[in-house]
Amino acid sequence: MPDFKHVNVPDGDLIESKDGKLVIGDRPIVGLLRGDGIGIDITPVMQDVVKAAVTKAYGGTREIQWCPIYAGLEALQTYGGEDVLPQEVIDAVKHVKVAIKGPFTTPIGEETFVCLHCAHQQFHGETCDGCGKTDGVAPRFRSINVGMRQRMDLYACVRPIRYFKGVPCPNKSADKVNFVIFRENTEDVYAGHDFERGSDVAKAIIALIKDMTGR
């Protein structure tokens, strides 16, 4: 068992992988990253829904053991400092192997600070001008989602798409929809690389793309 500073792994069954398949006990340990903003409200509801579904499906013989892992706003509040994605988060997710993540704040625009309570962005690191709170204002950072994908090499985004009988759908033959989309998750747009508009680097990349693709 790793010696975590703030992550307390509950009693239960760690999910294992054997011969390409997951081995799941009756009390599987699942990591829980609550998220920021709306995540604080919707993640507990998700837990209630999942609990009800598991109870219905297994008649009370199985139960998820949630393992809280602190990223984003909760990382600032738990670990202190300005790191929204501490290494312990990555280590804990790798340890439990399966985790559910709520929505996290992703800064956009030119402001240098963002409030992880309300997502308000501003040019100073003092009290949030949006919600008035003082404990969640952090320097601008790259997307937590992208950071997790890159640091754990989660490059494959697998999106199964199929029709569920009884669900209204405008497609003429919706019952025949059954395919999977594979998308790269750590490079290109999702790498979070951007360049100042009009800069020499931006112009060079645009020229290269036009030359290689004709677009």
Query: Is residue 109 domain-resident?
Result: no
Identify the pLDDT of residue 194. Answer: 67
Query: Is residue 188 domain-resident?
Result: yes
Amino acid in the structure at residue 20: G
Query: Is residue 161 domain-resident?
Result: yes
Strand partners, 16: 23
For 9, left (φ over 0), alpha (ψ -120 to 50), or beta?
Answer: beta
DSSP for 53-122, written as a single string: HHHHHHTTS---EEEE---THHHHHHH-SS-SS-HHHHHHHHHH--EEE-------SS-SEEETTT--EE
What whole-number percentage of the chain has pLDDT above 90? 67
Query: Is residue 34 domain-resident?
Result: no
Query: Is residue 173 domain-resident?
Result: yes
Question: What's the CA gap between 122 and 195, in Å, rounded?
Answer: 21
Query: Is residue 205 domain-resident?
Result: yes
- Give the chain's domain count: 1
Identify the pLDDT of residue 191. Answer: 67
Q: 167 lies in which domain range?
A: 155-215
Query: Is residue 211 domain-resident?
Result: yes
Average pLDDT over residues 194-205: 80
Query: Is residue 111 domain-resident?
Result: no
What whole-number percentage of the chain has pLDDT above 70? 96
Please tell me the least confidently modeled range out of 15-24, 79-88, 190-199: 190-199
Please tell me the least confidently modeled range out of 178-182, 195-199, 206-210: 195-199
Is residue 43 scored above 90 in pLDDT?
Answer: yes
